[in-house]
A and B are shown apart, each in its own frame.
Chain A
């Protein structure tokens, strides 16, 4: 069984191997660096893309894909996958950087006429604001990766893109991408079949069968990850899917929780712990609930901080003072604080409320979690 530290060690080994022995087929590989938002130092990764990746992206004769990610590496990965499609199929990819999302983009997207819009859920919703209704009707597929697709957003996007099927890909960069897919039309949201070449185990289960998702797959040359604890919790869905697939998992969120991806930012428990230590006399314990809301046509994050204060609650002035200090000190991207993203209308102002009793400690202790709207 492997943990994140083991993956870090493996990544180092792979990286050294690539530096010493550049691959003969570089087009199957991507070198990238993660920003370290998972709580550690930046991680330099070499990802080996599976042969089936182009098939997944272009299924159903799709030839034009808009790639939506704030990460240059992720957009390059999408272009690489398209490059590996068989010769003779004129597939084209339009990678959209956040700086492209300005007035005038509507006409360009109409000109490109996308069939598949692929990427982070929050990013796709932002791009959707630049898609004309007639263009949206011609979109055949929305492919979500990297963030949980919530029912409200799924319904909203369903109205905006009435002819687009919605599919999800469950992936993690440290596992060389793909873990599982929701391409099967019989699966509800957040249910997945394992990707080709991936074995999934669920361990340390509670009475409801909910436990740690562990992944086994080949990630590079002869290197395999073996029952790696991804950090998510889930359960096996009993029975065989109507499509014939024997294995289905329901993804229930992060364990712990290390972090929540929301509105293009990351809420990390480690970062909340750091900031909460600024108030040792006031905050005995805390919990954070985050949700995505749809307001004025854009996705925003709404964060509620539940504070346990043994003497009850703060005065209104103290709530304001503490809230301001937290927002100004809490980093939600490598360089931006929560307060800055409130100013940029990415988040609503922090909501603070008080718990009357200490928080119960469960088997799956969760301090920061994403909840449905």
Chain B
């Protein structure tokens, strides 16, 4: 299961002088099967300055959850390497988390697109979407619902909707298939980036994205084979495995 790239990354991270975040947790363990997992608790307990493995120009996000907030840093180049959406001429990014909205807008720029970023007010965002004649949408389920009137009023379906989230309710999303030629579900966490994707279906079948390794225990464990500011190696998510398997 361990790819050559991931094996190489583990070696580099183990020897990195920039941070001991992983090596302190790994001890003598040397490969993917034996190294322990990390989780949000580890990120929350460790300041960003102590888990920064490289310095490149980029964006720092605040990630909130009920147990407290922490920082996540992404270089602009790494943001561009994620698989959040599909190429479009005039994409709109409309996400409920403002940090994610800025990051996904930067993804568009890194991929050579000029995005419209939606403001919080759905009416103003819908107005702007019409003016910009958007052809695709990067959003989440909560924000998508706020655009229903706008989508109903379009004369042509969008080329694509990329829905980003940690879980999806296919049943509630199926009606939106009328509004886009393609609806793509992207499993993603703010701190890991995207790691799996599926086309919207009654029982979507996710596939790991290139460079991502997914282990299935009770919850998904994610690894990425690229060196990130804080690499993602055996990151234990709270996402139940049945989400990935289309249950």
Contacts and interface: CB of A to CB of B under 8 A. Distances in A.
A89 B98 CA distance: 26
Contact of A83 (B109, B113, B116, B119): B109
Interface string A24-37: 00110101110100
A305 interface: no
Nearest to B112: A26
A71 B119 contact: yes
30 contacts: A19-B133, A29-B114, A31-B132, A32-B116, A32-B117, A33-B119, A33-B125, A72-B101, A72-B102, A75-B98, A76-B106, A80-B106, A80-B109, A83-B106, A89-B57, A90-B57, A92-B57, A92-B73, A93-B59, A94-B62, A97-B98, A100-B64, A104-B68, A104-B69, A108-B69, A108-B71, A111-B48, A111-B49, A112-B48, A112-B71
B231 interface: no
B73 A42 contact: no
B110 to A, nearest CB: 8
A335 interface: yes
A25 to B, nearest CB: 9
Given A22-B89, A95-B99, A95-B102, A72 B68 contact: no
Interface string B124-147: 110110011100000000000000
Nearest to B121: A334
Contacts, number: 125
Contacts of B60: 92-94, 112
A76 B105 contact: yes
Looking at A85, A89, A93, the one whose CB has the most chain B CB atoms below 10 A away is A93
Given A92-B58, A94-B60, A18 B114 contact: yes
Nearest to A113: B49
A8 B226 CA distance: 46
Nearest to B89: A22
B90 A76 contact: no
B71 to A, nearest CB: 6
Interface of B: 47-49, 55-62, 64, 68-71, 73, 76, 89-90, 98-99, 101-102, 105-106, 108-109, 112-121, 124-125, 127-128, 131-133
Contacts of B105: 76, 79
Nearest to B98: A97
For chain A, what secondary structure do more than half of its interface residues adopt (helix, strand, loop), or is it mixed?
Answer: mixed
A92 B114 contact: no
Nearest to A89: B57
Given A33-B116, A75-B102, A104-B68, 4 more contacts: A19-B133, A95-B59, A99-B98, A107-B47
B90 A22 contact: yes
Contact of A23 (B70, B114, B128): B114
Looking at A23, A75, A79, A100, the one whose CB has the most chain B CB atoms below 10 A away is A79
Interface in A205-234: none
Looking at A35, A72, A105, A335, the one whose CB has the most chain B CB atoms below 10 A away is A72
Contacts of B49: 111, 113
A44 interface: yes
Interface residues of A, number: 46
A32 B128 CA distance: 8
Nearest to A27: B109
Interface string A172-209: 00000000000000000000000000000000000000
A96 interface: yes
Contacts of B62: 94, 96-97, 100, 105, 108
A31 B121 CA distance: 16
Given A26-B112, A33-B127, A33-B128, A72 B48 contact: no
A26 B113 contact: yes
Contacts of A23: 114
B9 to A, nearest CB: 20
A127 interface: no
Contacts of B133: 19
Contacts of B73: 92
B124 A33 contact: yes
Nearest to B73: A92
Contacts of A99: 64, 98
B106 A42 contact: no
A91 interface: yes
Contacts of A85: 57
A26 B132 contact: no
Contact of B99 (A97, A102, A105): A97
A72 B92 CA distance: 13
Contacts of A26: 108-109, 112-114
Contacts of A89: 57
Contacts of B117: 31-32, 72-73, 76
Nearest to B95: A72
Contact of A79 (B102, B119, B121): B102
A104 B67 CA distance: 11
A15 interface: yes
A73 to B, nearest CB: 6
